[in-house]
A and B are shown apart, each in its own frame.
Chain A
Amino acid sequence: MHFVDFGNAEAQLRNILEEELNYYGLKKADSAPFKPATKEDTFTPIDLEEINIGGLDNLEQTDEFLYSRNSHPIKKVLETVLMLAEVFAFRLKSQEALKLFDFVEVGYSKLFGSYNTIPGSYVLQQKAECLLKMVTERDNTPVAKAVEQAEKSIKVIEELAGKKDGGAEVNNCLLALRIQTLADA
């Protein structure tokens, strides 16, 4: 997703997250509203403790979303948190972004029952990109972590696509590529 004004995008996404959590009843009781960021304010981190994803722990016991996990409300919430993480990464609030990426990665794994999914792979790519932005002349240690995340992501995609060198699975791999590209757009 591309935002013209990232400051505005962050405020909008914070509001959307607040509304989604209230609408779906996924906000823990007695938690304060997420404070919209303004230019005058100092940065307010997203309090992930306030997001109740406990419902994912017993997903296997609920028929409603067992076979339609994409329609689970937490999917929308995770997507919003993911977009916020991308905005934070772009604004070089890298540690906060990585915290949100980790949250979404765990959320997706609980939702889909595995880390090896296309959304999971996308999160790994975003983490790699975020880590690359953290590289400086003084500290280049994030590069190694970025390589690790990118390799994991590629492994997931190629496993899902059933990659074999020169095999007929090339169109499946291309499909995965296109999905990834669409997700990036």
Chain B
Amino acid sequence: MYNGNLVTALSIKSSLPGTSLAEKEQYKVTMQQIVDKNLEIAEAAYGAESIHLLY
């Protein structure tokens, strides 16, 4: 996935000891936005039942 590495990187960043709660919350929102966007793209192109084609 073209934005998969960003999700992984933000996930790692969230788990680092020095990351503040506010930053963690921000990363969580960003990751959720990415996932939502990917689902939206997949649904628009293949239909809700064919999302697995992308993953």
Contact = CB atoms under 8 A, between A and B. Distances in A.
A121 B1 CA distance: 12
Interface in A170-185: 170-171, 173-174, 176-177, 180-181
B2 A143 contact: no
Contacts, number: 57
A151 B6 CA distance: 7
Q: Which of A129, A132, A150, A154 has the most CB of B within 10 A?
A: A150
A16 interface: no
B9 A170 contact: no
Contacts of B22: none
Given A132-B12, A140-B16, A143-B16, A173 B5 contact: no
A147 interface: yes
Contacts of B2: 121, 125, 153-154, 157, 176-177, 180
Contacts of A92: none
Interface residues of A, number: 25
A151 B3 CA distance: 8
A97 interface: no
A174 B16 CA distance: 33
Contacts of B12: 132, 135, 140, 143
A147 B27 CA distance: 11
Listed from nearest, the 10 A-B pairs whose CB atoms lie closest are A150-B6, A128-B5, A150-B5, A146-B9, A174-B45, A180-B2, A147-B9, A170-B44, A157-B2, A154-B3
Interface of B: 1-3, 5-6, 8-10, 12-13, 16, 40-42, 44-45, 54
Given A132-B8, A135-B12, A143-B9, 11 more contacts: A125-B2, A132-B9, A143-B13, A143-B16, A144-B13, A151-B6, A154-B6, A171-B45, A174-B41, A174-B42, A174-B44
Interface of A: 121, 125, 128-129, 132, 135, 140, 143-144, 146-147, 149-151, 153-154, 157, 170-171, 173-174, 176-177, 180-181
